[in-house]
């Protein structure tokens, strides 16, 4: 068998190291949603909502630092707080469901800078480098809010983009200035002009009644991966969102992570407690290359520069770490 023909088989046989975990401070459960890896500081940033903390893991040493005293609030039986984070240029930005704010932290010291209060509860936050803005999904308002963060000491709301449903997830085509989000309740994917701040197109990912969740954009081939609750669909962003492929991942999926350097998508299934790595080919194919056990309920993931994956285990109050061979 030639080396070229054997390569897909070798990829499929990759086996990760046994997962390890990093215990988080305090008692479980720890409410965790979005998390992010900061390549400049080699840190995983983990909003730990109900605890009032931002947990920070140094991926080179494994050391955990807890930043405390962020606002929390009761919402029925739940306690909410920090729930999202995005990495900017010189600052990171955190969204808080308790007081409806987005706040800036200095990137290296994590000293607190400025905050801005929104008109609705924030969900996801995404930094847009070309405009030095943070875009915020507001599901209850059926909109995305645009924040000017050129001066992180005083971030400001500068625009709102109305949408025809509840935005969920986000991705950025930086070269073309396009923002993508899903409408979870309408089973749609929306394309937005980041500079004009208007909707350009709406696509049908076909996720079904449960709707689409997170997104990841493959800039090299203009492909958009849409996470449905139990599978991934690959949309052709150069051809009106035509569906090119799909792959089952197990149920309970939320926000995937994209490893652009190695051209791989990481997808966590909360129902099967499994992490799946998927290779995206230039021909529009999705190929599973590895999987690993994680934790029940672990539905989001971040990946660092070495391809190590981090999956929050809210019920267990820990961060599951999975290392894969390159």
Task: Give tens-digit pLDDT for 212-246.
Answer: 999 999 999 999 999 999 999 999 999 999 999 99
What token pair was written down for 299? 């539905």
Percent of the chain with pLDDT over 70: 95
Residue partners of 163: CB distance under 8 A and separation at least 6: 142, 143, 144, 181, 183, 190, 199
Buried b / exposed e along 105-134 (16+ C-beta atoms within 10 A): bebeebeebbbbebebbbbbbbbbeebebb
Q: Do 33 and 49 meet the contact criterion of CB atoms below 8 Å apart?
A: yes
Q: Are 76 and 33 in contact (CB under 8 A)?
A: no
Sign of CA dihedral 297, 269, 205, 191: positive
**Range of lowest pLDDT (112-126, 155-169, 312-326):** 312-326
Predicted confidence band at 14 (pLDDT cuts at 50, 70, 90)? low
pLDDT (0 to 100) of residue 218: 97
Cα–Cα separations (whole angstroms), residue 250 to 153, 227, 228: 42, 11, 10
All structural domains of the chain, each given as residue ranges with its CATH number in brackets, are 27-162 (2.130.10.10), 164-326 (2.130.10.10)
User: What pLDDT, on a 0 to 100 scale, did the predictor assign at position 324?
Assistant: 79
Of 24, 21, 57, 87, the C-alpha closest to 273 is 21
Overall average pLDDT of the 60-76 stretch: 96
Instruction: Using the predicted structure, report yes or no on whether residue 5 has a pLDDT greater than 60.
Output: no
Classify 9 as helix, strand or coil: helix
pLDDT tens for residues 277-288?
999 998 899 999
Split at pLDDT 50, 70, 90, the class of 6 is: very low
Look at residue 3 and tell me whether its pLDDT is greater than 70.
Answer: no
pLDDT recorded at residue 1: 41
Q: How confident is the model at residue 18 (pLDDT cuts 50, 70, 90)?
A: confident
| pTM for the predicted model, two decimal places | 0.94
Does 198 have pLDDT greater than 90?
A: yes
Mapped onto helix, strand or coil, the DSSP state of residue 12 is: helix
């Amino acid at each position: 068998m030639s080396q070229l023909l054997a390569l897909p088989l070798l990829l499929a046989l990759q086996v990760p190291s046994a997962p390890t975990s990093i215990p988080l401070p305090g008692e479980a459960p720890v409410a965790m949603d979005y998390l992010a890896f900061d390549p400049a500081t080699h840190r995983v940033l983990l909003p730990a909502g109900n605890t009032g903390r931002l947990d920070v893991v140094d991926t080179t040493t494994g050391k955990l630092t807890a930043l405390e005293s962020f606002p929390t609030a009761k919402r029925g039986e739940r306690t909410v707080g920090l729930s999202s984070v995005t990495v900017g240029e010189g600052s990171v930005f955190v969204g808080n469901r308790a007081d409806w704010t987005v706040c800036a932290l200095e990137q290296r010291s994590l000293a607190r800078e400025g905050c801005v209060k929104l008109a609705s509860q924030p969900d996801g936050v995404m930094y847009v480098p070309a405009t030095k803005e943070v875009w915020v999904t507001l599901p209850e308002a059926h909109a995305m809010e645009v924040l000017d963060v050129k001066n992180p000491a005083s971030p400001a709301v500068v625009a709102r983009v109305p949408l025809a449903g509840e935005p969920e997830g986000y991705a950025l085509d930086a070269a073309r200035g396009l923002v993508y989000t899903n409408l979870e309740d309408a089973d749609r994917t929306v394309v937005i002009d980041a500079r004009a701040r208007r909707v350009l197109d709406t696509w049908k990912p076909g996720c079904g009644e449960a709707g689409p969740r997170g997104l990841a954009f493959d800039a090299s081939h203009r492909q958009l991966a849409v996470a449905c609750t139990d599978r991934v669909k690959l949309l052709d962003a150069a051809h009106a969102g035509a569906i090119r492929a799909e792959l089952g991942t197990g149920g309970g999926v939320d926000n995937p992570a994209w490893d652009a350097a190695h051209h791989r998508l990481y997808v966590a299934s909360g129902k099967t407690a499994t992490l799946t790595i998927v290779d995206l080919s230039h021909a529009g194919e999705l190929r599973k290359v590895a999987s690993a056990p994680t934790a029940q309920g672990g539905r989001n993931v971040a990946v660092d520069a070495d391809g190590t994956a981090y999956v929050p285990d809210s019920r267990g109050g820990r961060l599951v770490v999975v290392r894969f061979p390159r």
